[in-house]
Structures are given as C-alpha cells and as structure tokens.
Amino acid sequence: MNTNNNSVHSTELAGRSLDEIVYFSQHKFHGGVHPEEHKTLSNQSNIQALAIPPELIIPLNQHSGRQAMEVVAVGEQVKAGQLIAAAEGDLSANIHASSSGKVIAIEDRPIAHPSGMRDRCIVIATDGCDEAEWLPPIEHPFKADKQQLLRRIQECGIVGMGGASFPSHIKLMPEVNKLVINAAECEPYITCDDRLMREQANTLIAGIQLVMHLLNASEAIIGIEDNKPEAIAELKKTIKDAQTSASDKFAQNTSDLKNSSIKICVVPTKYPSGGEKQLIELITGKQVPSQQLPLALGLVMHNVATIYAIYQAITQGRPLISRIMTITGDAAQLKGNYLTRIGTPISFALQQADAESCDKVIMGGPMMGFEIFDTQAPVIKSSNCLIAAGKGELKATDAALACIRCGECADACPASLLPQQLYWFARSDDLEKAEQYNLFDCIECGACSYVCPSDIPLVQYYRYAKNELVQRAEEKQKAAHARERFEFREYRKKREKAERAERHKKAAEARKKAAHQKGQTDEKKATIADAVARAKARKKSSD
C-alpha cells in the first residue's frame, strides 16, 4: 500500500507545478526501507486534550544530560507550570508540575525505559482545579535580547521532542545561516507532528520565524515526507499569508526577516528520512561528517514539536508540561492524537483511549520504540507515540537463524555502514574492530533488522556493542583516576616521611646548639636536663 501511495502523493504534488515555497528534494540518501505506514489509523481526527489523571508521576531525568534536582518537598502544594526540579548545570533541563495538586512522594517509580527499571520521580496527587502559574510572556520577542530568549527557553525546560531530548537552549546558542525543521515523521503509526502541522500551522510558522531570529538565520527549510499533503498545503498557505500580508502579528516587528525565507522541501516517503543526518542529506545533498554535528555544515535542525514548545515558552511563558502524543494500534478504540500532560501514567492514557485490552504496549514507533512492561510508567517529554498492539499485530519474533551473508542489510543501511561486518564483530566481542568500522555512526534505525531474512536482531547487537564500548572507556578513565590518586597518596606519604625526618634533624640540631650555649658538652646530659625541666614546669602548672 505504501509504495503506491507514495507515488500518488508525489504525482499529485508534482502535477501542481511547484512554486518557490514548496519544492521536491533533488537528493537522496543511501538505503532505507518502506514499512507499512498505518498512519491513517490515527491522523483522521483532531487533537484532543487528555483528561487530568488523578496522579502525575514526573521523572527527574527526561532529557540527555544530568538529572534535575527536586526543589519541592513532600506535602507541598504546586500549581501547573511551577518549577519542581531544577536543572543541574547547563546540560540538564528544568522540570515543571503539569497540573496543580499536592506532592505526595518523591521516590523511585517505574519509568518508560527499555530496561523496565525504576528512577526518581516526583508524584503529584492532582486536585482537578488545574490552577496554572506561567512565566510572564516576552512582549516583543523580535526585539528581545538573544540571551533573554535563550534563558526563557532554558527556564521552561524545553528539550528536543523528536527523541533525543537534548536541551534546546544549547542547540540554539550558535549563530547559523540555515535552520532545518524536521517534519518528516518517517516512522510508521506516528502522526503527532502531522496533526500539529495541520492544526497549528500559524503558530508553527511564527515559531520558525522566532527561532530564525534567535539563530540569526536567513533561511529555514521544512523537511516533510510526501505522505502528508494536508500538512504541506496548510503550511504553504500560512507561509504565503505571512509573506504577502501584514496580517501576521509579528510582521511589523520583523524588518530583519523580510529577506528571510521559509521553504518546504518535500522528501519521498522512505524510512528513516526523518533521521537528522538523512534529512539533511535529502535537503542539502551534503553528508554530515562522521561523528560531527550538523553545525559542521552551518545548519541546525529542530523538530516541529520543539518549535511549538519554544513558541509557547516565549510568547505565553508556558513551560513544557504537555505534549501531543499519538495513541494508536489495533487495540485502541479511540485512536488519535492527544494533548497529554507530562507525567500521565501510561495506564491512564490507555484507559482514556479505550485501549486496555491490548496485547502489548510499545512506546515510540515500531521501528525504534520499546516495549513497556509496567503501564504505571509515565509519559515523558520525548514520548511521541503509544501503540496498543492487538493480538497478532506485533507478533513475537521468530528465533534468529544463521546469517546467510545476503547483504540486504548493507543495502538498507541509511548510514552506509556494513551491518554484516558489525554483526560479526559484535558477536565475537571484537569491539575495537567494530568501532573502526564506524559503529558509532549507526543511528539504530532498525532498517537492517527489518530486511534481514534470517530475523537476526541486528540493532540489538549494535546497541550492546556501543554500550559495552562506552562502558569500557569509562572504566578505563576510572582506573586512570584511581591510579592518579594512588600515586599522589604514595608521593604524599613519602613527602611526609621526609618532612618528619627533616623536623627531627632540626630539633636535634637545636638541642645541640642549646647545650653548647649552656656550656655543657655532653649532649645526652643536656637533653635529660631539658626533659626534667619540662616535666617540672608541667607539674607546677597542673598543681
């Protein structure tokens, strides 16, 4: 179904004689796959707000970087938007209460993580009033100082919402020429960005202008897959309006934006075109160098949902306390996109979507997501999708067979790696070799596993190998640190010994000198006399 659909979309759009706003990508990336999309399951209805759950479980570590530090105590009343955990250092993010209520616990709770482990969370019993306390809006964002805007983004705890959850204010610090907006949403089932673009195109375009202003960028390109014609049309209309009329409420403030342009680059539907490096290659035709950031090409990429959050933070002072999440899958009766509060238990979200009788629950998409074992775990800032799989929808894997060296995986790899080689190296624990074969360029998209005729869980091997390499490097560093401390201690002991010997020598010399002065040549006698005198003095003082 998918391939047919793609060509239909493509010809439709191509037939419409593309203008200066919308254009087709002239480039492609290596590999990729075409899994069935299943997007129509959830993208037919408007975004709805999910009810306030009785209990919000808000993890302190929802971002890459250091865990935030709680700033509220158990028993405290909090309002929606109130800071409850503060960032520790720059590479961290603030966490806010998503609704009003009372903090009832700060403890380890199950979290949405592939390990199924527990982590520190703040638990809020909501009172249903949803009393909010936003920060003051920044009145004229286009006249505001860059530092002020960045500080606001940091205060509001905005992180990248495409998956990696990297704190956004860091990504916005440098000045670049080109801003790329990731609206590809290439993974099957997920439609939250699609719906957001259809319904909030105005806000998004204003948000893009804001971020361009922040980055001092003259050009923004929205990368979007051709399976979202409605969203493309909506964005195009909005961009046109913003360009032609002064109806845009920022237009009068945006003299510096007159020369700037926002364009939409339509890319063919192919997984994983939404990967950062893949989308950049599709748009610019250039590859981001291995182990480097897009900044190396003078551009920065943000997800549409992040842009939306940034816009809200700046113009409304609203921290990141909710996100749009797709709830889909055969078992969900009320499939669709929901505005979900961060910290909503997955079980509650499933109940609201009438999806409790599901076979298993996947967070994220079917290609890169993971299974949720405990549905008490909460929705976090990066949770874009919940798949409530019905019976037989996402079946258990067949046992892996032997590799037949067909090379399908190498054809499918979007990072142009040699998955088969990497697999052998990972299997034989020859990890240095795997690293030499650029293991760390693997984006874990799962295209290789998808095409493997022997059902080998290839990505699993790469994840294991990456983890193991990182851990070994950490151990080595720790050992070097321990050695340094050990050696310093040895040095200190030696120095103390030398110092003691020196002191004794000096004392002996002093005694000798004193004895000499008193005219007593016998050093021993002098020492004894000294000691007797000291003892007498002490006795006297104690009496």
- Out of 12, 45, 49, 114, point to the residue binding another protein (CB under 8 A): 114
Select 166 or 373, whichever has its Cβ closest to another protein: 373
Query: Would you say 9 and 225 are in contact if contact means Cβ atoms under 8 Å apart?
Result: no
Query: Would you say 389 and 397 are in contact if contact means Cβ atoms under 8 Å apart?
Result: no
> Is 448 within any annotated ligand binding site?
yes
Select 480 or 528, whichever has its Cβ closest to another protein: 480
Q: Which residues are within 8 A (CB) of 212 and not within 5 positions of it... i.e. 6 or more apart?
A: 179, 218, 220, 257, 260, 262
The span of 4-12, 208-216, 339-347, 476-484 binding another protein (CB under 8 A) equals 476-484
Axis crossing angle, helix 458-517 with helix 419-427, rounded to the nearest 10: 50
Select 113 or 286, whichever has its Cβ closest to another protein: 113
- Out of 76, 468, 523, 530, point to the residue binding another protein (CB under 8 A): 468
| Residue 429 DSSP SS3 | coil
Select 485 or 538, whichever has its Cβ closest to another protein: 485
Select 26 or 436, whichever has its Cβ closest to another protein: 436
Q: Which residues, 395 to 454, sit near another protein by CB under 8 A?
A: 395-398, 400, 427, 446, 449-450, 452
Phi-psi region of 286 (alpha: psi -120 to 50; beta: other; left: phi over 0): beta
Considering CB under 8 A, how many residues would be counted as binding another protein? 57
DSSP 294: G
Select 496 or 522, whichever has its Cβ closest to another protein: 496
> Is 413 within any annotated ligand binding site?
yes
DSSP-assigned beta bridge partners for residue 345: 378
CA-nearest of 157, 52, 152 to 95 is 157
- Out of 23, 24, 166, 373, point to the residue binding another protein (CB under 8 A): 373
> Is 442 within any annotated ligand binding site?
yes
Provide the minimum distance between the beta carbon of 444 and another protein in the complex, in angstroms, as a whole number: 9
DSSP-assigned beta bridge partners for residue 108: 120
Provide the minimum distance between the beta carbon of 276 and another protein in the complex, in angstroms, as a whole number: 19
Select 488 or 535, whichever has its Cβ closest to another protein: 488
Q: In what order do the strands lie in the sheet with 322-328?
A: 48-49, 336-341, 322-328, 385-389, 360-363, 370-372
Provide the minimum distance between the beta carbon of 437 and another protein in the complex, in angstroms, as a whole number: 18
Token digits for 479?
């050992």
- Out of 115, 147, 252, 255, point to the residue binding another protein (CB under 8 A): 115
Q: Which residues, 238 to 277, sit near another protein by CB under 8 A?
A: none
Q: Kindly report the length of the chain.
A: 543
Select 8 or 480, whichever has its Cβ closest to another protein: 480
* Cis before 319 (ω within 30): no
Query: Would you say 437 and 403 are in contact if contact means Cβ atoms under 8 Å apart?
Result: no
Provide the minimum distance between the beta carbon of 385 and another protein in the complex, in angstroms, as a whole number: 13
- Spell out, one character per residue from 335 to 364, where the chain touches another protein: x when CB under 8 A holds, - when not: ---------------------------x--
DSSP-assigned beta bridge partners for residue 219: 178, 261
DSSP-assigned beta bridge partners for residue 303: 182
Q: Which residues are within 8 A (CB) of 322 and not within 5 positions of it... i.e. 6 or more apart?
A: 98, 339, 340, 341, 342
480 binds another protein (CB under 8 A): yes
Q: Which residues, 484 to 503, sit near another protein by CB under 8 A?
A: 485-490
Written as one string, the DSSP assignment of 16-84 is: T---SSEEE-----S--B------TTTSSS--EEPPPPSEEEEES--SSSSPPEE-S-TT-EE-BT-EE
Provide the minimum distance between the beta carbon of 409 and another protein in the complex, in angstroms, as a whole number: 12
CA-nearest of 120, 112, 121, 156 to 138 is 156
175 binds another protein (CB under 8 A): no
Select 145 or 398, whichever has its Cβ closest to another protein: 398
128 binds another protein (CB under 8 A): no
Provide the minimum distance between the beta carbon of 364 and another protein in the complex, in angstroms, as a whole number: 9
Query: Would you say 186 and 274 are in contact if contact means Cβ atoms under 8 Å apart?
Result: yes
Provide the minimum distance between the beta carbon of 471 and another protein in the complex, in angstroms, as a whole number: 7
- Spell out, one character per residue from 36 to 65, where the chain touches another protein: x when CB under 8 A holds, - when not: x-x----------------------x----
Q: Which residues are within 8 A (CB) of 399 and not within 5 positions of it... i.e. 6 or more apart?
A: 455
CA-nearest of 390, 444, 415, 25 to 222 is 25
371 binds another protein (CB under 8 A): yes
- Out of 249, 405, 483, 504, point to the residue binding another protein (CB under 8 A): 483
Which residues carry a binding-site annotation?
A: 403, 406, 409, 413, 442, 445, 448, 452
Task: List residues binding another protein (CB under 8 A).
Answer: 35-36, 38, 61, 111, 113-115, 117-119, 188, 362, 366-371, 373, 389, 392-398, 400, 427, 446, 449-450, 452, 455, 457, 459-461, 463-464, 467-468, 471, 475, 478-483, 485-490
Which residues carry a binding-site annotation for [4Fe-4S] cluster?
A: 403, 406, 409, 413, 442, 445, 448, 452
